[in-house]
């Protein structure tokens, strides 16, 4: 099968629109701390006709030269090609890296994964390669609800005016928690320097979910916190793929930490469940204490069950070649052919020509 047939696809209009949106997002994320080029050229030549000098990253493990191509075979036998299609300056040192995939990866293979090892675009900085993400890309949408069912029952024995009283209270039923408070974060694919044994936090993202009962019996906010940690193996290793045997490879494993869920705000009224609560202050106080302790336990347990599965992933990088194996939720994709252009031993924003 000819490799050339993979390289004839052109940008679609949607690809260009996504590229512009990604650039705008990066500009917002990067702030105003560095002098930016008004018109990103993607070719290394600024508006005055001078070649931009960028700071290279001292690693050959992730080539970014325009036109470099890699062909991978998926676990099901299908093949796909990745090409460095465009590079756009954000400032004098950092640039956007856009890949063109043929055939295009399905959305489910990129969006919806907690680790973006096959993302179509990245932000290349001197300290590594990153990708801004949001809850939308983590299978969460603003306004989506998680239903939590409560079955909290309490019987309290008390004495009122010399009479023994058994007060029963039930906090039962389903409450819907709306996800909101989107906090953008950054997935750090690589962090320099790339050396055996290195560890870094690849992702740290927070979001919240809130329930406000129309009857004002419950107002409850919980916060979810997700981290993914990346670690390079202790030794450089040899990797065998259909494209050949590669020496001095680095294996990078991305491992999610368990979700952390905690209550941030809680207001509960227990007066509506039985009569005479105001007349039994000690009983009411005991019931309220019990319910306020049980609601977070139930909510946090059920909310964890509703979280989408957190996927681990791995990359195997060969010097002067880049990714030779990619592992995500779909399995392991192996390199079967590649054409890395000269000058790609360092990350750079453009050719020096």
What per-residue confidence (pLDDT) applies to 89? 81
What per-residue confidence (pLDDT) applies to 211? 92
Q: Please tell me whether the overall predicted TM-score, pTM, comes out greater than 0.85 for this model.
A: no
Q: What CA–CA distances, in Å, run from 223 to 144, 229, 261, 262, 313? A: 15, 20, 6, 6, 25
What per-residue confidence (pLDDT) applies to 125? 86
Instruction: Please provide residue 76's backbone torsions phi and psi, each rounded to the nearest 5 degrees.
Output: -85, 5
Using DSSP, state whether 137 is helix, strand or coil.
helix
| pLDDT, tens digit, 9 for 90 and up, residues 276-335 | 555 566 777 788 888 899 999 999 998 888 777 777 899 999 999 999 999 987 889 999
- Pick from 32-41, 172-181, 239-248, 281-290: least confident: 32-41
From the centroid of its chain, how far is CA 253? 15
| Residue 47 pLDDT exceeds 50 | no
Q: CA–CA separation, 339 vs 326, rounded Å?
A: 18
What per-residue confidence (pLDDT) applies to 316? 98
Using DSSP, state whether 162 is helix, strand or coil.
coil
Reference 315, options 300, 332, 301, 296; nearest CA is 332
Please give the mean pLDDT across all residues of the chain.
75
* Consecutive H or E run containing 203: strand 199-212
Q: CA–CA separation, 256 vs 252, rounded Å?
A: 13
| pLDDT, tens digit, 9 for 90 and up, residues 48-97 | 444 444 444 446 899 988 899 999 999 999 999 999 999 888 877 788 89
- Give the confidence band of 138 by pLDDT, cuts at 50, 70, 90: low
Q: CA–CA separation, 274 vs 278, rounded Å?
A: 10
Using DSSP, state whether 292 is helix, strand or coil.
helix
| pLDDT, tens digit, 9 for 90 and up, residues 167-198 | 777 888 899 998 876 556 788 999 988 999 99
């Amino acid at each position: 099968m000819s490799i050339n047939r993979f390289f004839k696809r052109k940008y679609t209009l949607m690809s260009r629109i996504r590229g512009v949106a990604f650039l705008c997002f990066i500009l917002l994320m990067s702030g105003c701390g560095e002098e930016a080029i008004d018109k990103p050229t993607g070719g290394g030549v600024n508006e005055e006709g001078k070649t931009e000098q960028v700071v290279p990253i001292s690693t050959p493990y992730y080539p970014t030269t325009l036109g470099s191509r890699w062909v991978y075979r998926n676990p099901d036998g299908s093949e796909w090609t990745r090409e460095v299609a465009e590079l756009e300056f954000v400032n004098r040192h950092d640039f956007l890296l856009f890949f063109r995939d043929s055939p295009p990866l399905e959305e489910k293979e990129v969006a919806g994964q907690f680790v973006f090892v096959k993302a179509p675009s990245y932000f290349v900085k001197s300290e590594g390669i990153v990708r801004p993400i949001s809850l939308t890309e983590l299978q969460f949408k603003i306004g989506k609800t998680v239903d939590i069912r409560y079955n909290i029952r309490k019987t309290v024995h008390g004495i009122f005016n010399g009479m023994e009283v058994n007060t029963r209270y039930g906090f039962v039923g389903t409450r819907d928690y709306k996800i909101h408070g989107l906090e953008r974060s950054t997935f750090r694919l690589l962090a320099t320097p790339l050396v055996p044994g290195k560890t870094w936090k690849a992702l740290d993202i927070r979001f919240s979910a809130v329930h406000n009962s129309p009857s004002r019996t419950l107002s409850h906010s919980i916060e979810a916190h997700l981290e993914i940690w990346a670690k390079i193996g202790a030794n450089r290793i040899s990797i065998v793929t259909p494209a050949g045997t590669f020496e001095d490879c680095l294996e990078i494993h991305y491992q999610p930490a368990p979700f952390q869920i905690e209550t941030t705000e809680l207001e509960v009224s227990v007066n509506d469940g039985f009569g005479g609560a105001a007349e039994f202050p000690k009983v009411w106080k005991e019931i309220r204490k019990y319910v306020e302790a049980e609601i977070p336990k139930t909510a946090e347990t059920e909310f964890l069950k509703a979280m989408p599965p957190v996927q681990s992933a791995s990359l195997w990088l060969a010097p002067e070649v880049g990714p030779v194996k990619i592992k995500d939720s779909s399995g392991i994709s192996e390199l079967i052919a590649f054409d890395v252009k000269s000058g790609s031993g360092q990350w750079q924003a453009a050719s020096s020509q």
